[in-house]
Structure 1
Amino acid sequence: MIDQRKTCFMGSGKMGEALLKGTLAAHFLHPKQVVMCDILPHRLVEIADRYGVSTSQDARTSARDSQVVILSVKPQDIRAVLKTIREVVEEDHLLISIAAGVSTTFVEEELGKKARVVRVMPNTPAMSLAGISVVSPGRYAHPEDAEYVLAFMSSVGETMLLPEENQNAAMAIHGCGPAYFSLFIESLVDAGISMGLSKEVSSKLAVETMFGSARMLKETGMEASELRRMVTSPAGTTVEALKVLEENRFRYAVIKAVERAALRAREIGEELEEER
């Protein structure tokens, strides 16, 4: 079902485009009710040609004329955007922020009013309608705002409603996760090539294995450790491979990487606060 609210995307970066593409493909939004706002004219031409939506370089007017404003800019740019739209944001506006590390309190205080803000962290697979998004309402958001955002994000994948204090930890897993998986696939492909397989064959084997494993875990509900044990036979090939990964502290490296990503998200928020 298409929602009828006028929706403005502030920023046409990769994630903003992913959400636009996904919500249009899922028929949650219609091109006629969407305006994409950005400072880059060539980017707006690309978006208009690709999706048939309206575009604008006038953030203030775009926000004023919309009911839902998606803050899809980089964290370092969000203060400037909020300053631009501050005077036109009213009580009937719903703001959805997907800026990593930026709290709803920061958005509210920058606007200088009790704005209805919902913080969301989606991930890139939203472009294939296979993402997962973590949703956290701000203190002035209405209950129906959270319901709306959950429905909005459900059009591009799964959703989870979590307290905002869990956002950075969650982002370090699902927001950054596609990069972790991609690096692992790259490594599998490199290994295949080093042993004489073509890149095409190695890539297909790696991608289909990851896809099938993830699908199996999702559909059966089994623990990842259970699937690992199913594949690992005593004195077999897999157990020898896992020994090498453990000897090289694979699990430790993953944990530390996720912790560092979460820390960086917190640092981004703190840096914005210090700039006030």
Structure 2
Amino acid sequence: MDNNNNAVTDQFDSPEANPGKIAVIGGGNIGEALVAGLVKAGVDPNSIFVTNRRSERSAELAERYGVVTGSDNVEAVSGASLCFLCVKPAQVIDVIGEISETLTHHDEQTALVSMAAGVTLAAMESAVSAAGTPLVRVMPNTPMLVGKGVHVVACGRYVDDETRQRVLRLLAVTGKVVEIPEKLIDAATAVSGAGPAYFFLFTEALIDAGVALGLTRDVAEELAAATVWGSGEMLMGDDSAAALRYAVTSPGGSTFRGIRELEESGVRGAIFRATEAVAERSAGLGG
């Protein structure tokens, strides 16, 4: 596979109902969102083994989705063809070290898919003892919790096309998949990983501004949230963000005045600085 070619995928056929054992290490928000998407797409819950440190959380996931749960990462990865690492960045290398010996003795290779920011493919490769282990690095974002996520993906050198397609197909059950060279993942994190927070902050400010103008908070929240939702749907069409903005901004009109205030207040520059800060921080999270 040529990692220099970007690939954007927002639709796959449903993943196979019995794709072999899938380990999901970490049953937090990201792990649960992935499990929910897989089960909804028709993957056999009995083929999914989710680990969590808290027995109460494991019981909750088992009851909600019918998946196999436990706290033993080695047990989870034993016999698995795919292992999703849904833990915090600082834990990824430790988890790989914990399961590495088991991976070495598998009859078939287990592909490791990290869902954590900042942990490079090189760092993962150094931690795993099984030579030639397929490694995939993914940066998800929180809208995957509602099936509208963005997964930025970079595949390692041992990922063959069959494994690549399988990973992309499984990720696509919770949103759009964008495949890019690994060197661009920190930049992508600054756009899609942190992007939801930017929009939430903007919406929060828009609500407060509406209240300041005399709207009740309930009405301001309804107006702002529905406006952001509808605008997002329009962005998924063929027109660019700039073209859509031009269409709603009549020369000399009220929206034009609002846009001028935003520009003169340095909103565009603030976004540039924010994304630069996120990319810099993302690059250091793996350490």
TM more than 0.5: yes
1:235 to 227, 234, 252: 252
Alignment correspondent of 2:28:
13
Query: C-alpha distance in 2, partners of 1:194/1:222?
Result: 33
Structure 1 residues 127-146: aligned runs within 5 Å: 127-146=145-164
Query: C-alpha distance in 1, partners of 2:168/2:136?
Result: 10
SS in 1 for 2:158: coil
Tell me by how many angstroms 1:99 deviates: 1.0
Determine whether 1:4 maps to 2:19: yes
Alignment correspondent of 1:174:
192
1:71 to 85, 104, 110: 85
1:189 to 207, 227, 236: 207
1:20-63, CA deviations, whole angstroms, 9 ceiling, x for partnerless residues?
Answer: 11222222x22111111121222212222222211111111111
- Contact conserved, 1:15 with 1:124, CA < 8 A, in 2? yes
Alignment correspondent of 2:268:
251
Tell me by how many angstroms 1:185 deviates: 0.9
SS in 1 for 2:221: helix
Query: C-alpha distance in 2, partners of 1:31/1:138?
Result: 28
Alignment correspondent of 1:274:
none
SS in 2 for 1:159: strand
SS in 2 for 1:155: helix
Alignment correspondent of 1:148:
166
Query: C-alpha distance in 1, partners of 2:269/2:53?
Result: 42
Query: C-alpha distance in 2, partners of 1:20/1:198?
Result: 39
Determine whether 1:81 maps to 2:95: yes
SS in 1 for 2:112: strand
Question: Structure 1 residue runs of 4+, over 3 Å off?
Answer: none
Tell me by how many angstroms 1:3 deviates: 4.1
Query: C-alpha distance in 2, partners of 1:22/1:209?
Result: 27
Alignment correspondent of 2:37:
22
1:58 to 58, 64, 72: 72
Query: C-alpha distance in 1, partners of 2:274/2:98?
Result: 36
Query: C-alpha distance in 2, partners of 1:194/1:102?
Result: 43
1:119-171, CA deviations, whole angstroms, 9 ceiling, x for partnerless residues?
Answer: 11122212222112112111111121111111111111111111111111111
Alignment correspondent of 1:126:
144
- Contact conserved, 2:93 with 2:123, CA < 8 A, in 1? no
Query: C-alpha distance in 2, partners of 1:197/1:2?
Result: 50
Query: C-alpha distance in 2, partners of 1:3/1:249?
Result: 52
Alignment correspondent of 1:49:
63
Alignment correspondent of 1:159:
177
Alignment TM-score, normalising by the size of structure 1: 0.92
Tell me by how many angstroms 1:254 deviates: 0.8
Aligned in 2, Cα 1:232/1:77: closer, same or farther, shift over 3 Å?
Answer: same
- Contact conserved, 1:26 with 1:156, CA < 8 A, in 2? no
Tell me by how many angstroms 1:114 deviates: 2.2
- Contact conserved, 1:122 with 1:132, CA < 8 A, in 2? yes
Query: C-alpha distance in 2, partners of 1:198/1:118?
Result: 48
Larger relative contact order (C-alpha < 8 A, sep ≥ 6)?
Answer: 2
SS in 2 for 1:146: helix
Query: C-alpha distance in 2, partners of 1:127/1:268?
Result: 23
Alignment correspondent of 2:112:
95
Aligned in 2, Cα 1:3/1:120: closer, same or farther, shift over 3 Å?
Answer: farther
- Contact conserved, 1:172 with 1:259, CA < 8 A, in 2? yes
Alignment TM-score, normalising by the size of structure 2: 0.89
SS in 2 for 1:118: strand
Q: CA RMSD in A?
A: 1.4
1:205 to 223, 226, 235: 223
Q: Identity percentage over the alignment?
A: 37
Aligned length: 268
